[in-house]
Copies of this chain bind each other. A is one copy, B any other.
C-alpha cells in the first residue's frame, strides 16, 4: 500500500467516476484503474461496485475512504510540522504520559504550555510508565507523566501528588449499598479485575502489591488490556476494579467507593532526564506550581493525600523564591 494509492482511491470515491477522477489527478484513466485494482488485490477486498453507474462504494470501501482521508490529513500535518521545526530551528518538546493523566492536570498543563511557549512544537505520546524511562534515556521524549516509582539513576521522578484509589463496584450488589470508604480488607475473597495486562511492571502490579501488603487475597484476578475493558467488566458484574479516583468520570454506570487503608494511593510522577538543562523543564514545573495553586477539581482533598510536589512546597517556607 502506498500513499499514492490512497490519494487515487479518495479521488475515485469522491467523484464516483474513474474518468473524472483521473482528470483531477492529471493522469490517464487506465493507470488509475490498475492502481485501484492493485489496492483491492493487496487488501483482498473489493472497495468499489463497478457494475453500477455511477460507481458505488462497498461497505469496506466506505470505511477505507474515510480512513484514507484522515491518514492523508495526518501525513500533511506531519509534513508541515516537520518543516516548521526544521526551518525555524525551533525545538520540539516531547511529552510521554499515561492515559489516566488525561483526566487530571495534563490538558490544562498543555494549554498553559502552548500559551506560554508558543515557539515550541509540543508532541504528546501516550505510553506506559515503564516505557517512559527508556524513552527518556533514548531522547524520544523529554518529559514523562507516569504512576510508577523507578530505580533508574539517569531519570529523576518527582511525585506531584498522591491520588487516592477508589473501587469500582457493580451497581446493585451488596458492596454498592454504601458510599462510605471501603477498607482494603473488604476485597478479600472478591473477584478482582486489573489492568493493564502489558507492559509489566505496571499499574496492575501496583494494585496487586497493595493488596498483598494488606494480606488480602482476591478469590480470582482477571487481567485485561485497558481500563475501559476493566470498568466494562465491572458493569457486567464480573468483579471489582481498583482505579485512580480521577478515572471515575470514565464511566458513570458503576458505583465507586474510596479505598481506605495504608498506601491506598497511586502517585502522579513527573519524569525527566537527570541534568537536562532545557529551560522548558523549569517552565513546566512553574506551570504545574501555578496549576496546583488554582486548586482544580481533580486535586480536591477528598481524592488526594494532602501533599504537594517538592518544588511546590519549597517556595512557601523559604522566602528566597520569587513565588
A75 within 8 A of B: yes
Q: Give the nearest-CB partner of A40 in chain B.
A: B86
Which B residues are CB-close (under 8 A) to A2?
A: 2-4
> A59 to chain B: which residues have CB within 8 Å?
85-86, 89-92
A86 touches B46 (CB 8 A): yes
Q: Tell whether, in the assembled complex, residue B81 and residue A67 are in contact, meaning their CB atoms are under 8 Å apart.
A: yes
**Pairwise interchain contact B85-A63, C-beta atoms closer than 8 A:** yes
Residues on the B chain within 8 Å of A45, using CB: 82-83, 85-87
Residues of chain A from 150 to 205 with CB closer than 8 A to chain B in the complex: none
Expressed in whole angstroms, the Cα–Cα distance for A310 and B64 within the complex equals 34
Report Cα–Cα, A108/B279, bound state, in Å. Answer: 41
Contacts of A4 in B (CB 8 A): 2
A53 on interface, CB distance cutoff 8 Å? no
Q: CA of A174 to CA of B62 in the docked complex: distance in angstroms?
A: 53
Contact, CB under 8 Å: A78 / B86:
no
A49 to B162, CA, bound (A): 42
**Copies of this polypeptide in the complex:** 2
Residues of B within 8 A of A315 (CB): none
> In the complex the two chains form, what is the Cα distance from A208 to B294 in whole Å?
32
> B125 near A66 (CB under 8 angstroms)?
yes
Which of B3, B43, B86, B250 is close to A79, meaning CB atoms less than 8 Å apart?
A: B43
Of the listed residues A65, A66, A82, A232, the one surrounded by the most CB atoms of chain B closer than 10 A to its CB is A82
Q: Please tell me if A123 contacts chain B, counting CB pairs below 8 Å.
A: yes
> Chain A, 240-253, contact with B by CB distance < 8 Å: what is the 0/1 string?
00000000001111
Interface string of A137-160 (1 = CB under 8 A from B): 001100000000000000000000
**Which residues of chain B are near A115, meaning CB under 8 Å?**
232
Interface size on A, residues (CB 8 A): 55
Cα–Cα, bound, A121→B58 (Å): 14
Q: Shortest CB–CB separation between residue A305 and chain B, in angstroms?
A: 21
A43-B82, A59-B91 known; 11 new pairs, CB 8 Å cut-off, are: A1-B3, A44-B83, A59-B90, A59-B92, A60-B85, A60-B86, A62-B94, A63-B82, A64-B78, A111-B232, A253-B294
A296 interface residue per 8 A CB criterion: yes
Inter-chain contact A75/B111, CB cutoff 8 Å: no
> Known contacts A45-B87, A59-B85, A294-B253; is A67 also within 8 Å of B71 by CB?
no
Distance between A78 CB and nearest chain B CB, rounded to angstroms: 4
Report the nearest B residue to A299, measured CB to CB: B252
Q: Are B87 and A78 in touch, CB under 8 angstroms?
A: no
| 5 pairs, A vs B, C-beta closer than 8 Å | A59-B91, A62-B140, A71-B75, A108-B252, A115-B232
Once A45-B82, A46-B86, A63-B81 are accepted as A-B contacts, the answer to whether A297 and B92 lie under 8 Å apart by CB is no
Is the beta-carbon distance between A43 and B140 smaller than 8 angstroms?
A: no
Say yes or no for A50: interface residue by CB 8 A criterion.
Answer: no
Verify if A68 is at the interface (C-beta below 8 Å from B): yes
Q: Name the residue on B nearest A91 (C-beta).
A: B59
